[in-house]
């Protein structure tokens, strides 16, 4: 079995579970994004795979081989840290080749590998510079170069974009995507930014409180979320959750709400957020605050009525948040009627 | 205004010593200037440099001892601090508490027992043997200071080095130590200063005049006469004794300031 396999990985620290029974496969050449709020265990997962943190149960398998007990230095893992963790006192060239020097790679081979990576990342001119003399984007490339130079069997990236400004982030995304998919090893990419996850990854693994919530491609997660957490974590503006009723909670995405002339829910427009391509209207209704997408060019009215196609309704268990089968359209109508009073 | 007052407060005595060192003894004790002469003189400097022991010799002894003490202390403190930083839980807490206790212990209480040790091991009148107790006494504070500086380094740097295949010793030598340069410089200066100023142990361990360190020699100058206090020579010795320190501070100024304020503000 080629690729990375996390087999029931658990990690506890200080009596607190950080990862619980994590089961995840990343194929060769595949990029899986670990997505979740801060403290959900994304970075811990990377550190366990790299061998920087010990696991308390389970196994990490790479190409079928159990590497759980292997020293991090011997795992051939390329990792890009959130802070980049470049050695501040060394030049770009020395930052990249320190590991090779330590491993006793001959100078000629070192030089050859170095110049190959430098030209791949367009860093040739920066060879003698110190990290402090580089821009954020250049530092990121150096950190990536250091990971690539190791000829890693697996690539781990911990929020490599979070130190860059929004515009640069968007510019670098395709470049990073090309670099990562070209190499043919499994890639684990940690982020809390869903745009980034959708733009970079083949599949997304959503984590919350150390538990894997759902793995799938972006579309699947968006249209078919496994539970309430995934439904509300993914998608901007966030999904509309209705008040729980009879042990169930219904939800509809803002883009699926439609304005109707009769019937539906009466709503008052409280706020309009204009964001360029469209506006997000905040509606005060009997079902609480709802978000609705509205064309950017036209001014919204003060009051309107909204409805939705029962086909787009998602239902969750009110207490645990687990996904329930799509409710009967009649039940959907009941909800609207209930809310109208 | 406040600054001027503060400056006068700390620099005043030094400048007064400087003035004193260039004045004739008669002028210093309130007598008049000898007829037709100037009150200024270099006689005080000539006296201490030609004395037995010569102050030049004394300064060399002190510098040598200070250098060896500082080097030995840093060489031992750096790995200790690094190891302590990587310990966790109760052992670290106990060792740290022990170090704080040792750093706060008044060393003057130790000189009698140290003298006994010097007798047993025949260390009396060996200048560099003094580096042993000096290093032992400086180590606790040095370890604590360096450990605080190591704790301020981002931990991801060491993680990156681990993935690069560096073992603990290589990480200390190639990553941690170079980044600690400012903290090492300021800690080193404190250690050197402590050795430069130490009096009771030097006084009891050293008796041969060509082995004396600066504080012990100053003590001899001060007590050289029962009838007069040699203000002039004493002031000259003070000025000469503080020059090397001034030089060191100027040399490492940039590093020391960044070392002393390290951790105050997150980079």
SS (H, E, C) chain A: CCCEEEEEEEEEECCEEEEEEEEEEECCCCEEEEECCCCCCHHHHHHHHHCCCCCCEEEEEECCEECCCCCHHHCCEEEECCCCCCCCCCCHHHHHHHHHHHCCCCHHHHHHHHHHHHHHCCCHHHCCCCHHHCCHHHHHHHHHHHHHHCCCCEEEEECCCCCCCHHHHHHHHHHHHHHHHHCCCCEEEEECCHHHHHHHCCEEEEEECCEEEEEECHHHHHHCCCEHHHHHHCCCCCCEECCCECCEEEEECHHHEEEECCCCEEEEEEEEEECCCEEEEEEEECCEEEEEEEECCCCCCCEEEEEECHHHCEEEECCCCEEECCCCHHHHHHHHHHHHC
Q: Are strands A187-191 and A31-35 parallel, antiparallel or unpaired?
A: parallel
Examine the pLDDT at A46 and tell me if it is beyond 90.
Answer: yes
Cβ B160–A88 below 8 Å, yes or no?
no
Cβ B159–A81 below 8 Å, yes or no?
yes
Q: Is B37 on the interface with A (CB under 8 A)?
A: no
Span A121-125, average pLDDT = 90
Q: Is B106 on the interface with A (CB under 8 A)?
A: no
Q: Is B90 on the interface with A (CB under 8 A)?
A: no
User: Is B125 a member of any domain?
Assistant: yes
In chain A, what are the domain boundaries? Answer: 4-223, 238-340
* Closest residue of chain B to A158, computed from CA coordinates: B156
Angle at A56 between CA A55 and CA A61, to 5 degrees: 45
Cβ B165–A102 below 8 Å, yes or no?
yes
In the block, residue with structure tokens 């704080």: B100
Of B154, B166, B174, the CB nearest to A85: B154
What's the gap in Å between the CA of B19 and the closest CA on chain A?
A: 46
Examine the pLDDT at A302 and tell me if it is beyond 80.
Answer: yes
Cβ B160–A146 below 8 Å, yes or no?
yes
Residue among B193, B196, B202, B197 nearest B114 (CA): B202
Q: How many CB atoms lie within 10 A of CB B93?
A: 11
Residues of chain B with pLDDT under 50: 263-267
Q: Is B162 on the interface with A (CB under 8 A)?
A: yes
Please report the pLDDT score of residue A24 as a whole number.
95
Pick the CATH number of A238-340 from 3.40.50.300, 3.40.640.10, 2.40.50.140, 3.40.50.1980: 2.40.50.140
* Range A4-223 classified under CATH 3.40.50.300: yes
Q: What is the mean pLDDT of chain A?
A: 90
What's the rounded Cα separation, in Å, for the pair A40 and A205? 12
Of A73, A86, A87, the CB nearest to B163: A73
**pLDDT tier for residue A340 given thresholds of 50, 70 and 90:** low
Cβ A85–B174 below 8 Å, yes or no?
no
Please report the pLDDT score of residue B263 as a whole number.
45
Query: Which of the two residues, A212 and B227, has the higher pLDDT score?
Result: A212
User: Is B61 a member of any domain?
Assistant: yes
The contact set of A with B (CB < 8 A) is 47, 50, 52, 72-75, 77, 79, 81-83, 85-89, 98-99, 102-103, 146, 150
User: Is B2 a member of any domain?
Assistant: no
- Which of A13, A91, A95, A102 would you mutate first to test chain B, the one with the most B CBs within 10 A? A102
Please report the pLDDT score of residue A169 as a whole number.
84
- Count structural domains, chain B: 1
Q: Is B164 on the interface with A (CB under 8 A)?
A: yes
Please report the pLDDT score of residue B258 as a whole number.
67
User: Is B267 a member of any domain?
Assistant: no
Span A238-248, average pLDDT = 87
> Which residues lie closer than 8 Å to B164 by C-beta, 6 or more apart?
A73, A98, A99, A102, A146, A150
Residue among B75, B102, B84 nearest B187 (CA): B75
Q: Which domain holds residue B116?
A: 40-260
Please report the pLDDT score of residue A81 as a whole number.
93
What's the rounded Cα separation, in Å, for the pair B21 and A141? 62
CATH number of residue B178's parent domain: 1.10.3720.10
Which chain A positions have a beta carbon within 8 Å of B184's beta carbon?
Answer: none
pTM, two decimal places:
0.82
Of B157, B165, B167, the CB nearest to A99: B165
* Closest residue of chain A to B165, computed from CA coordinates: A73
Please report the pLDDT score of residue B260 as a whole number.
57
ipTM reported for the complex, 2 dp: 0.85
3-state secondary structure labels for all residues of B37-96: CCCECCHHHHHHHHCCCCHHHHHHHHHHHHHHHHHHHHHHHHHHHHHHHHCCCHHHHHHH
Query: What does the radius of gyration of chain A's CA atoms come to, in whole angstroms?
Result: 24
């Amino acid at each position: 079995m080629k690729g990375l396999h996390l087999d029931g990985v658990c990690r506890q620290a200080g009596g607190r579970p950080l990862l619980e029974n994590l089961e995840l496969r990343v194929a060769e050449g595949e990029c899986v994004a670990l997505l979740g709020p801060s403290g959900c265990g994304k970075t811990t997962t990377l550190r366990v795979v790299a061998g920087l943190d010990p696991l308390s149960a389970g196994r990490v398998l790479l190409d079928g081989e159990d590497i759980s007990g292997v020293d991090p230095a011997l795992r051939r893992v390329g990792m890009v840290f959130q802070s980049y963790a470049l050695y501040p006192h060394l030049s770009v060239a020395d930052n990249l080749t320190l590991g090779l020097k330590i491993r006793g790679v001959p100078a000629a081979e070192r030089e050859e590998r170095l110049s190959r990576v430098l030209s791949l990342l367009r860093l040739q001119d920066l060879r003698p510079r110190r990290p402090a003399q580089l821009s954020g984007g250049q530092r990121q490339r150096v950190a990536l170069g250091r990971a690539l130079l190791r000829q890693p069997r697996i690539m781990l990236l911990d929020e490599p974009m979070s130190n860059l400004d929004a515009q640069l982030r968007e510019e670098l995304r395709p470049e990073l995507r090309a670099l990562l998919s070209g190499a043919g090893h499994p890639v684990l990419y940690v982020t809390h930014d869903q745009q980034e996850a959708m733009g970079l990854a083949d599949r997304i693994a959503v984590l919350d409180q150390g538990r894997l919530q759902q793995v799938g491609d972006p579309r699947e997660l968006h249209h078919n979320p496994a539970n309430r957490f995934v439904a509300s974590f993914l998608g901007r503006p966030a999904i509309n959750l209705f008040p729980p009723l009879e042990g169930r909670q219904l939800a509809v995405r803002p883009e699926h709400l439609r304005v109707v002339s009769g019937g539906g829910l009466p709503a008052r427009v409280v706020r309009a957020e204009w964001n360029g391509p469209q506006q997000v209207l905040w509606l005060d209704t009997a079902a609480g605050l709802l978000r609705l997408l509205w064309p950017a060019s036209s001014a919204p009215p003060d009051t309107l009525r909204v409805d939705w196609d029962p086909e787009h309704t998602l239902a969750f268990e009110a207490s645990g948040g687990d996904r329930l089968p799509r409710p009967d359209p009649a039940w959907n109508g009941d909800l609207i009627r209930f809310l109208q009073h | 205004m406040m600054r001027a007052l503060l400056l006068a407060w700390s620099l005043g005595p030094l400048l007064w010593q400087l003035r004193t060192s260039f004045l004739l003894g008669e002028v210093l004790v309130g007598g008049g200037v000898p007829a037709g002469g100037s009150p200024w003189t270099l006689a005080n400097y000539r006296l201490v440099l030609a004395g037995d022991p010569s102050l030049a010799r004394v300064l060399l002894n002190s510098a040598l001892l200070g250098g060896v003490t500082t080097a030995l202390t840093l060489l031992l403190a750096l790995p200790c601090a690094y190891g302590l930083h990587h310990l966790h839980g109760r052992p670290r807490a106990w060792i740290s508490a022990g170090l704080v206790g040792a750093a706060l212990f008044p060393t003057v209480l130790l000189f009698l027992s140290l003298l006994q040790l010097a007798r047993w091991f025949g260390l009396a009148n060996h200048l560099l043997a003094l580096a042993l107790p000096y290093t032992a006494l400086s180590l606790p504070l040095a370890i604590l200071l360096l450990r605080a500086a190591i704790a301020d380094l981002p931990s991801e740097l060491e993680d990156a080095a681990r993935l690069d295949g560096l073992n603990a010793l290589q990480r200390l030598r190639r990553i941690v130590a170079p980044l600690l340069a400012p903290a090492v410089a300021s800690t080193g200066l404190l250690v050197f200063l402590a050795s430069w100023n130490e009096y009771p142990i030097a006084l009891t361990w050293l008796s041969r005049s060509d082995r004396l360190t600066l504080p012990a020699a100053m003590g001899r100058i001060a007590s050289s006469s029962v009838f007069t206090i040699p203000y002039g020579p004493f002031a000259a010795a003070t000025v000469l004794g503080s020059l090397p320190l001034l030089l060191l501070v100027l040399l490492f100024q940039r590093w020391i300031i960044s070392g002393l304020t390290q951790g105050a503000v997150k980079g």
